[in-house]
């Protein structure tokens, strides 16, 4: 963490937001029926009482992405348009989820579509002061500091920590709103007590009978993967224009491992054909497979797969109760 | 903009019908590839599919494709000098360097023979580096035999056994009738200093491995080629994952104990 932290008073924050709104497309959490990240209109709408129902991953890893266009003999360039965006009020779990996706799409693979969206975005975090709901479990997911700016809520004002040059530049540009402070951010500010997963390694529990508690309730509806801020599985399909079939597009879109089609091949063969295997695959990919490969947890413990599940399958509880 | 997902335009040198539903394309490429690897071949607007290589050469690439879906049917209609769009070669092939100086048993069924053809061409190129080679090919009936010409040629240089599962014994003069697994079960095979490479449908692979285990082969000697639904082939889309291993980048050839026991994944 930086040696210098800044102070942003709460009433000044509204002016700051109105100011950056002119230069950036600013997304803030707004609570209507559910909390979502929406384009800022009135700063007074901002609501930090709960985490957004959906993560912001669709802004970077978009639901539908045109990989290339084709006119029958040549590839046409795809314009990678992106706007300067600011995401204000991201939680630590979501910032770490963005870190994991950055790792996949920018470090492991040089994915131009993701990079073009991601590199123009500024991430401003809002540090939780307590566990957001009874389902989140970020304490056991070893989260790290990954943000441009992070806001620590101190009732009347925010302490602002800048982690990257992007963040520093933003403060420098709008320095009239910020005051320097000698405060040192310590573990006291960053520690939040949540529930935990009591098992470090779940590999030997694969055939445990307790999984049935979750599997019996699972509807294979794929809500969990849709809401997950880290899930990145996708499929690629071709589209042609109906009145000009030579014009083709290859499109990458989200897909879900919870659906049977995920592993279906020609002649109607499905490799992962049982709900049991699909249910466990998601959890093992999040907690084990990705870690084995890349030494970091894919799951960040936001708990959306439980809050968003229509049957509220609390798989963390199921794992914790396994003996 | 550079993306790993954009394919390369490739000329078809010939399109040859092996059987009623299997055809072989010869593509003009430059660059090397190993037996067991695969390429993503497709036509923009229709789609892409992963097909394993069936040759060993530096200036052309042969692939044999069975017409089962939208993309493979479209590919089957292409003629000489038209273009396909390929990406690759991708994946880890058979560990042929590791098995130098040893005997090899190659077992294939149906379209799986295509992958083995690539190994055979590799061995022919480096013949002095390998000892005895045993070939086992399984087909459904006479009309399903792919590479008829090559099989006749291989008869002179390798020990070869062919079994036809849907043909009755009377018509099978040169060949055995029944499943290739039955033929293997009846034979005595030497286990020491031998590697077994298998390619075929999942059920055939499992049956064969069971028989080989009874004969005294262990997991380290058996290598299988797997297939999964694949989109990206670069370890990004996750469709081909088998217990955390990517078929596209860690495979498609696995040592049997790496993935073999996971029947439902």
Chain A residues touching residue B243 (CB < 8 angstroms): 284, 289
Contacts of A99 (CB under 8 A, 6+ apart): A144, A146
**Dihedral angle over CA of A38, A40, A45, A48, nearest 10:** 60
Can you read off the two tokens belonging to residue A223? 């809500």
Q: How far is A75 from chain B (nearest CA, A)?
A: 9
ipTM surpasses cut 0.85? yes
**Which A residues 130-159 touch B at CB under 8 Å?**
none
Q: How far is B188 from chain A (nearest CA, A)?
A: 33
pLDDT digits (tens, 9 = 90+) for B108-157: 998 889 999 999 999 999 989 998 899 999 888 888 888 888 888 888 88
Nearest CB among B42, B229, B232 relative to A263 is that of: B229
Which of A234, A258, A266 has the highest number of chain B CBs within 10 A, making it the mutation to test binding with B? Answer: A266
pLDDT digits (tens, 9 = 90+) for B206-260: 899 999 999 999 889 999 999 899 999 999 999 999 988 999 999 899 999 888 7
Radius of gyration (C-alpha) of chain A in whole angstroms: 21
pLDDT digits (tens, 9 = 90+) for A183-206: 888 888 888 889 999 988 898 999
Q: Please tell me the distance from the alpha carbon of residue A138 to that of residue A129, in angstroms, as a whole number.
A: 13
Give burial (CB, 10 Å; 0-12/13-18/19+) of A221.
middle
Chain A residues touching residue B264 (CB < 8 angstroms): 271-274, 276-277
Check CB contact under 8 Å for B265 and A271.
Answer: yes
Q: How far is A79 from chain B (nearest CA, A)?
A: 9
| Three-state secondary structure string covering B107-133 | EEECCHHHHHHHHHHHHHHCHHHCCCE
Check CB contact under 8 Å for A289 and B244.
Answer: yes
Check CB contact under 8 Å for B5 and A245.
Answer: no
Q: How far is A239 from chain B (nearest CA, A)?
A: 6
Q: Please tell me the distance from the alpha carbon of residue B29 to that of residue B11, in angstroms, as a whole number.
A: 8
Q: How far is B46 from chain A (nearest CA, A)?
A: 6
| Band (B165; pLDDT cuts 50, 70, 90) | confident
Instruction: Label residues B238-247 b or e (16+ Cβ within 10 Å = b).
Output: bbbbbbbbbb
Under 8 Å between Cβ of B162 and B177 = no
Q: Please tell me the distance from the alpha carbon of residue A62 to that of residue A113, in angstroms, as a whole number.
A: 9
Nearest CB among A250, A264, A290 relative to B44 is that of: A250
Give the distance, in angstroms, between the CA of residue A214 and the centroid of all CA atoms in the same chain.
24
**Which A residues 208-247 touch B at CB under 8 Å?**
232-240, 245-247
Residue B164 confidence (pLDDT) above 90:
no
Residue A1 confidence (pLDDT) above 70:
no
pLDDT digits (tens, 9 = 90+) for B1-10: 688 899 999 9
Nearest CA in chain A to B10: A73
CB atoms near residue A145 (< 10 Å): 15
Domains and CATH numbers, chain B: 8-90 (2.40.30.10), 103-225 (3.40.50.80)
Tell me what pLDDT residue B105 has: 93
Tell me what pLDDT residue B173 has: 59
Contacts of B104 (CB under 8 A, 6+ apart): B119, B123, B130, B132, B133, B134, B194, B195, B196, B197
Under 8 Å between Cβ of B161 and B136 = yes
| Band (A96; pLDDT cuts 50, 70, 90) | very high
Check CB contact under 8 Å for B236 and A109.
Answer: yes
């Amino acid at each position: 963490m930086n040696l210098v932290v800044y102070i942003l008073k709460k009433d000044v924050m509204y002016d700051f937001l109105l100011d950056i709104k002119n230069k950036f497309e600013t997304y803030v959490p707004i609570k209507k029926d559910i909390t979502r990240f929406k384009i800022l209109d009135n700063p007074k709408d901002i609501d930090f009482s709960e985490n957004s129902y959906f993560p912001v991953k669709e802004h970077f890893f978009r639901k539908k992405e045109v990989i290339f266009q084709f006119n029958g003999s040549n590839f046409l360039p795809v314009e990678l348009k992106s706007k300067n965006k600011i995401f204000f009020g991201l939680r630590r779990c979501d910032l770490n989820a963005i870190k994991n996706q950055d790792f996949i799409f920018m470090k492991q693979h040089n994915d131009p579509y993701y990079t073009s969206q991601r590199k123009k975005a500024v991430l401003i975090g809002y540090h939780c002061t307590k566990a957001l709901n009874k389902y989140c479990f970020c304490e056991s997911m070893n989260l790290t500091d990954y943000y441009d700016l992070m806001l620590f809520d101190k009732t009347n004002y925010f302490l602002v920590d800048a982690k990257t040059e992007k963040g520093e530049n933003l403060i420098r540009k709008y320095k009239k709103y910020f005051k320097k402070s000698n405060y040192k951010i310590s573990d006291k500010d960053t520690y939040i007590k949540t529930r935990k997963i009591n098992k470090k390694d779940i590999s030997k529990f694969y055939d445990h009978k307790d999984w049935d508690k979750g599997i019996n309730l699972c509807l294979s509806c794929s809500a969990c993967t849709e809401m997950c801020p880290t899930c990145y599985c996708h499929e690629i399909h071709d589209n042609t224009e109906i009145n000009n079939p030579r014009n083709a597009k290859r499109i990458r879109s989200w897909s879900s491992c919870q659906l049977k089609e995920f592993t279906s091949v020609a002649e109607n063969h499905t490799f992962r054909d049982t709900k049991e295997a699909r249910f466990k695959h998601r959890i093992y990919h999040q907690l084990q497979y990705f870690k084995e490969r890349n030494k970091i947890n894919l799951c960040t413990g936001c708990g959306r797969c439980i809050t968003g599940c229509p049957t509220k399958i609390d798989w963390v509880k199921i794992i914790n109760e396994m003996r | 903009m550079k993306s790993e997902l954009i394919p390369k335009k490739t000329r078809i040198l010939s399109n040859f019908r092996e059987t009623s539903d299997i055809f072989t394309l010869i593509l003009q490429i430059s660059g090397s590839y190993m037996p067991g690897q695969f390429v993503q071949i497709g036509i923009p607007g229709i789609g892409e599919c992963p097909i394993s290589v069936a040759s060993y050469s530096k200036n052309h690439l042969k692939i044999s494709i069975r017409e089962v879906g939208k993309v493979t049917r479209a590919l089957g209609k292409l003629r000489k000098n038209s273009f396909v769009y390929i990406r690759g070669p991708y994946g880890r092939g058979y560990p042929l360097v590791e098995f130098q100086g040893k005997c090899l048993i190659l077992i294939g069924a149906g379209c799986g023979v295509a992958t083995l053809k690539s190994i055979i061409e590799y061995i022919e190129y480096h013949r002095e580096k390998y000892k005895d080679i045993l070939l086992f090919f399984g087909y459904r009936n006479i009309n399903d035999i792919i590479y008829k010409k090559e099989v006749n040629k291989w008869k002179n240089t390798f020990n070869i056994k062919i079994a036809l599962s849907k043909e009755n014994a009377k018509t099978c003069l040169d060949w055995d009738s029944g499943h290739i697994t039955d033929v293997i079960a009846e034979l005595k095979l030497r286990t020491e200093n031998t590697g077994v490479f298998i390619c075929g449908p999942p059920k055939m692979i499992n049956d064969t491995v069971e028989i080989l285990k009874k004969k005294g082969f262990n997991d380290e000697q058996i290598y299988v080629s797997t297939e999964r639904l694949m989109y990206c082939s670069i370890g990004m889309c996750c469709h081909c994952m088998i217990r955390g291993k990517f078929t596209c980048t860690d495979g498609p050839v696995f040592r049997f104990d790496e993935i073999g026991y996971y029947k439902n994944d």
